[in-house]
Amino acid sequence: MTTFPELRAMMAKHGLGQKEMGELIGNTYLTFGKKLRGENEFTFYDMLKIKNYFQEKGEGVSIDSLFFDWNFTKVNEG
């Protein structure tokens, strides 16, 4: 299963790669990639910066939609 599908969709929609997203939250592209794969965790500060960035781009996203809803859906489909 793909991790963080909504975040990945927003990144693709806006033409952003791991390098740009890592810079946004003050990480390297390698660290951001590990977070995106679920090997490391996004901090609340990371989530807030990313959510605010996409909201400033006019997207109606929330921290839940970007970082949590996909995982709860997977668990509930069990």
Specify the pLDDT at position 73. Answer: 56
Mean pLDDT by 10 residues, the chain (78 residues): 92 98 98 96 98 98 94 58
Domain count, the chain: 1
- What is the CATH classification number for the domain harbouring 47? 1.10.260.40
- How far is 58 from 37, CA to CA, in rounded Å? 26
Whether the pTM exceeds 0.75: the reply is yes
Domain around 37: 5-77
Specify the pLDDT at position 59. Answer: 98
Specify the pLDDT at position 39. Answer: 96
Specify the pLDDT at position 70. Answer: 82
